[in-house]
Amino acid sequence: DCIERGFRHFLITKQLWDDVHDWRQDTNMGHVSYVVATIMRDMHLKPGMYAKKALTDDMLPVFLNKTMPKICAVALKHTTESKQAFVDSGLIKADSPIYKILDDQKQPILYTIDQHAKSRALIKGARKIVAK
């Protein structure tokens, strides 16, 4: 059912975005959310015991440079799929508040992607200056 699919994608995006903000706390509490698991995969960690503080410190640059952009892309995809499912249902009018909610959900994701790109460009430019 399209409405169910729309809400499923909406909730996935909401949970991903919550996990993006809580990954450090989740790691410190020993919870492995989708975001924490993705960071650990991006780090190519082997199974074993790790000191939480050291692990969290090592995770931060990987999260910022590799995982966070991936998670943003996944969240954006789910937001788009949510909206499409509601449109496909034929039951949700174009002026429905659900579309405003989806747009509001999408904005911080787009902002984060934009800020990440600007930060990477700034760092790249600074490296060129320092290399001269």
pLDDT (tens, 9 = 90+) of the chain, 132 residues, equals: 999 999 999 999 999 999 999 999 999 998 999 999 999 999 999 888 888 889 999 999 999 999 999 999 999 999 999 999 999 999 999 899 999 999 999 999 999 999 999 998 998 888 888 777
CA atoms of 121 and 103, how far apart (whole Å): 27
Distance CA 78, CA 81 (A): 5
Residue-level pLDDT at 128:
81
Residues 10 and 16 sit within 8 Å (Cβ to Cβ): no
Listed in sequence order, the residues at least 6 apart from 82 whose beta carbon sits closer than 8 Å to its beta carbon are 5, 6, 7, 8, 9, 10, 13, 102
Query: What are the tokens at 122?
Result: 């700034």
What does the pLDDT read at residue 82? 97
Distance spanning both ends of the chain, measured CA to CA:
59
> For residues 30 and 19, what is the distance between their CA atoms, to the nearest angstrom?
14
Residue type, 130: V
**pTM of structure:** 0.86
